Chains A and B, each alone.
Chain A
Amino acid sequence: MSVLEQEVPGVVMTPDNIRTRKLPPAVNLGVAVAALVVAAALVLGLGIGNWVLVIVLGAAFYLGGLFFAAGRVEGVRAARNRTMKSLIYAACVLAVLPLASVVWTLVSKGASRLDGDFFGTSMNNISARDPMGGAYHAIIGTLEQVGIAALMAVPLGVLGAIYLVEYGKGRFAATVRFFVDVMTGIPSIVAGLFILSFWVLIVSPYFNDGRPQFSGFAAALALAVLMLPTIVRSTEEMLRLVPGPLREGSYALGVPQWKTILKVVLPTALPGIVTGVMLSIARAAGETAPVMLVAGGAAAINFDPFAGNQQSLALFVYQQAGDASKYAPARAWTAALTLVVLVLALTIAAKLLARRNKLSR
């Protein structure tokens, strides 16, 4: 008898016994139904909850029952495997559930104001009694602010990451990396305050006859501050994943380092970099606090990001959700839906763009 057999009975199958019995699918289903019935009887009989608790409790009973039933038929090891697998599936479903719930809530509550007015008009001259009004100004604001922020943060972030991975050595690089990490943890309101005190109060008066002014550009600056560390870190991770032999293969052809980075390293890491950039853009598009602090919000359309108050979608949602008008909540939901769809569309477009360069497999 081997050590394994002595110490862990049932683990080792002898050469003349490599088959096991399998739990029939019908029994599996039966356990599931029984677990649900028991859970329903318990919960509804005692009156301690609704169908949500029935499902959660039913899932727990099912896992227990499955372990017991499978243990009888297949043995402990197989039963443990089966139960763990079910647990993982259950966790996966549970993780997706909130997302599905959010999407459903947004679509069902936001659909009522999906009309031309919403996408074609602003909130200018819309009083509490007016059912119309729209988020045109907010969409313009979000696109301009996030666009400008991305124009600043993406090149800076990607180049910074290239420095850290390809060139950075010693204490300076370590310091930069440390501060990027610190920046990742900056609350958005602090970024907003920084831009408020630096740009809006100190710099902007020079462009506006000595008076400080809010602007979409200030919001873009704050968003760029927030995006930068995310982009640097994710790009850095992706560049580090590019195998060293690939770089050496390029060097060995007499290709200079900068061209190796540009033509070999970056294309290889591109899909991952795009994912990181899109995550940071999604985060920036959803920021409310810094926009409120430095762009001020507005009811009217303002195409000029460099002068005057500007609205953004996230800020629009915040304001409408807190508005006393009975028509405001519908506008808030639709704006939230618009924001999600906007980010989703951008993400899909970016992924397609990044894949275009990849070869078909």
Chain B
Amino acid sequence: MAKRIEASNVSSYYGDFKAIDSVSMTVEPKTITALIGPSGCGKSTFLRSINRMHEVLPNARIEGRLTIDDQNIYDPDVDVTAVRRMIGMVFQRPNPFPTMSIYENAVAGLKLNGVKKKSILDEAAEKSLRAANIWDEVKDRLDRPGAGLSGGQQQRLCIARTIAVEPQVVLMDEPCSALDPISTLAIEDLMFKLKDRFTIIIVTHNMQQAARVSDKTGFFSIDKTGDPGRLIEYDDTQKIFSNPSQKKTEDYITGRFG
């Protein structure tokens, strides 16, 4: 069951430094939303704010309201691990657990959260590895270390790991930036498949990718270094890439800026 995400006036800080300034956007369930913008404009920070990963860093904090189906995830009585169970995340660099096998990596989220039954784990491993388009490549070596796979395979393993816990939302922080075009295509295909079940938000530097995969696109930008990032424009991908209403957006997507 996918969920709606609503951000209203979200500002994120690293200590005294304001990284993003009052971002508001609504993400509909079962859609793919792309966040684009130049480096350092706060799109990753915003993404990390959605599953409360931002606060893992020392002195990081956030202001504003972020609701998932009308529940504010920053309410004081909210359990942060419950939020993260609901909102999975795939990182820029593939980060399989080095001490675990491919199988253990795939079901790590279930196992570490207390699922013990072998039959359930086996089923979940196959299901998520199949969903991540990697089952055929690894089914004969599930007991081999996950770190021994190629970069693209590792990233798909990390996606399998994320969807194995069946979150409602999947956040992807430049998941393809370290991958070759073939692995990138595999992951984009995968995103279309996952769209039926999850709400997906992806940060990307690749504008063709944003145009290809997303339903809606948000453009972030900063005026100059040291200023907080702002959401300049948020609209249907079609519109952003064909007829943006902001001059800045047009400059960026046509390559005249950033």
Contact = CB atoms under 8 A, between A and B. Distances in A.
Given A246-B97, A361-B145, A254 B56 contact: no
B85 A253 contact: yes
Contacts of B89: 248, 252
B112 A253 contact: yes
Given A245-B95, A357-B99, A359-B101, A252 B112 contact: no
Contacts, number: 81
Contact of B165 (A246, A253, A358, A359): A253
B156 to A, nearest CB: 14
Interface string B140-153: 00011100100000
Interface in B88-122: 88-89, 91, 93, 95-101, 108-109, 112-113
Contacts of B124: none
B112 to A, nearest CB: 4
Given A252-B51, A252-B53, A263 B162 contact: no
Contacts of A259: 112-113
A255 B66 CA distance: 21
Nearest to A254: B85
Contact of A243 (B51, B95, B108): B95
Given A169-B58, A359-B144, A255 B113 contact: yes
Given A246-B97, A267-B99, A255 B112 contact: yes
A253 B93 CA distance: 16
A98 interface: no
Contact of A248 (B91, B109, B167): B91
A90 B107 CA distance: 51
A28 interface: no
The winner among A169, A256, A358 for most chain B CB atoms within 10 A is A256
Interface size class, chain A = 20 to 34
Nearest to A250: B112
A89 interface: no
Given A169-B58, A254-B82, A264-B97, A249 B113 contact: no
Contacts of B144: 359
A169 B58 CA distance: 9
Contacts of B108: 250, 253, 255
A268 interface: yes
Contacts of B2: none
B10 to A, nearest CB: 19
A252 B161 CA distance: 10
A248 to B, nearest CB: 6
A250 B145 contact: no
A253 B98 CA distance: 16
Contacts of B82: 254
B53 A253 contact: no
Nearest to A271: B99
A273 to B, nearest CB: 13
A255 B96 CA distance: 15
A251 interface: yes
Contacts of B148: 361
A153 B161 CA distance: 37
Contact of B113 (A247, A254, A268): A254
A249 B53 contact: no
B53 A255 contact: no
Interface string A253-294: 111100110011001101000000000000000000000000
B81 A254 contact: yes
A254 B53 CA distance: 11
B96 to A, nearest CB: 8
A357 B99 CA distance: 8
B82 to A, nearest CB: 7
A254 B95 contact: no
Contacts of B84: 251-254
A268 B82 CA distance: 25
Contacts of A248: 53, 56, 89, 91, 95
The winner among B112, B113, B145, B161 for most chain A CB atoms within 10 A is B112
B240 interface: no
Contacts of A358: 99
A253 B95 contact: no
A270 B85 CA distance: 27
Contacts of A250: 97, 108, 112
Contacts of A256: 81
Interface string A331-361: 0000000000000000000000000011101
Interface of A: 169, 243, 245-256, 259-260, 263-264, 267-268, 270, 357-359, 361
Closest 7 pairs between A and B when the two form their complex, measured CB to CB: A254-B85, A253-B109, A252-B89, A267-B99, A359-B145, A249-B95, A245-B95
17 contacts: A243-B95, A246-B95, A248-B56, A252-B51, A252-B53, A252-B89, A252-B162, A253-B88, A253-B109, A253-B112, A253-B113, A253-B162, A254-B109, A259-B112, A264-B112, A359-B145, A361-B148
Given A245-B93, A250-B97, 12 more contacts: A246-B95, A249-B97, A250-B112, A251-B56, A253-B88, A253-B112, A254-B84, A255-B113, A259-B112, A259-B113, A359-B145, A361-B145
